[in-house]
Amino acid sequence: MSAMGNNLSTRITLEQSRVVVVGGTSGIGFAVAEAAAHAGAEVIVASSNPERVAVALKRLPEGTRGESFDVTDETQMSAFFARVGAFDHLVYTAGESLLLQTLAELSIEAAQQAFEVRYWGALKAVKYATPLIRKGGSITLTSGVASTRPLPAWTIASSILGAMESLTRALAVELAPLRVNAVAPGVLRTDMWNSMSETDREGLYTFIAEKMPVQRVGEASDVAQTYLHLMQQGYSTGQVVVVDGGHVLV
């Protein structure tokens, strides 16, 4: 990784760095991978879906690498990072569609499974990535504004996002001086909402947009630059940066 600095500050650039994006084949992760590659980084994306990996690699800048493995499987996670070797920045954006059910209809088994990719997958990634991250590197995880602004039926989703934020702060203390931060997006037009019907999905987007100060629903590209900022901002750690178009204000 290229770094320049003096006694007062350290300037970090992504040029010639290595960035691993787990969940980097769609949505926010894809946008982060694309932006990092354009910033001069060697990018490696990972996903549980081999078809998504193949499609993403056709769209991402030349030189981007990708692998498919089960992010909930600890053995496969460990083996993936062993193959990656030394690198500079880990970004974890992997996540299935949010489990949105009222408490009365909630399946406890489904609720437990909902934590597997978003929380336990992230923890496994951090565990096996940390020894490989070079000095000056970083880890950026993903939360969401529902951690503090849940809607009805968001009990499990909000719990997962809140757990990610607590994990971020705890890891920033334990892994120091390695920097650990998180990004908390608002509602974005991504595949995360594909479990909803098109009518319900567009209705959600319209409902949110009408309430928002920016008067629109966000795109993955709107938040990707925040991940890049946290990789390069050498004085930020333990922070959860909200990028939501003002959603938490209304």
- 77-91: pLDDT as tens digits: 999 999 999 999 999
Range of the domain at 99: 14-190+219-244
Query: Active-site residue among 26, 48, 68, 143?
Result: 143
Q: What is the predicted pLDDT for the residue at 2?
A: 46
* Confidence at 163, pLDDT banded by 50, 70, 90: very high
Cα–Cα distance measured from residue 28 to residue 21, given in angstroms and rounded to the nearest whole number: 10
| pLDDT (tens digit per residue) in 141-160 | 999 988 888 878 888 888 99
Mean pLDDT, residues 25-45 taken together: 96
Higher pLDDT, 133 or 112: 133
Residue 42 lies in a domain: yes
- Which is nearest to 145 in space by CA: 40, 226, 249, 25? 249
Looking at residue 55, its amino acid is V
Residue 69 lies in a domain: yes
Question: Over 70: is that where the pLDDT of 119 sits?
Answer: yes
Rg (CA), the chain: 18
Question: Over 80: is that where the pLDDT of 29 sits?
Answer: yes
Q: What is the predicted pLDDT for the residue at 9?
A: 52
Question: Over 50: is that where the pLDDT of 7 sits?
Answer: no
Q: What is the predicted pLDDT for the residue at 19?
A: 98
Cα–Cα distance measured from residue 55 to residue 141, given in angstroms and rounded to the nearest whole number: 24
Residue 18 lies in a domain: yes
* Confidence at 219, pLDDT banded by 50, 70, 90: confident
Question: Over 50: is that where the pLDDT of 1 sits?
Answer: no
Looking at residue 201, its amino acid is R
Q: What is the predicted pLDDT for the residue at 6?
A: 46
Structurally, the chain folds into a number of domains equal to 1
Instruction: Flag the least confident range among 13-17, 18-22, 58-62, 146-150.
Output: 146-150
Q: What is the predicted pLDDT for the residue at 139?
A: 98
Residue 150 lies in a domain: yes
CATH of the domain at 154: 3.40.50.720
The DSSP annotation for 64-124 comes to: -EEEE--TT-HHHHHHHHHHH-SEEEEEE----------TTT--HHHHHHHHIIIIIHHHH
Residue 56 Cα to chain centre, angstroms: 16
Residue 6 lies in a domain: no
125 contacts 168 by C-beta, under 8 angstroms = no
47 among known catalytic residues: no
Residue 30 lies in a domain: yes
Q: What is the predicted pLDDT for the residue at 152?
A: 85
Mean pLDDT, residues 8-36 taken together: 90
Cβ-Cβ contacts under 8 Å for 207 (sequence gap 6 or more): none
Instruction: Flag the least confident range among 76-80, 113-117, 118-122.
Output: 113-117
CA dihedral (44, 164, 98, 230) positive or negative: negative
Residue 204 lies in a domain: no
Residue 211 lies in a domain: no
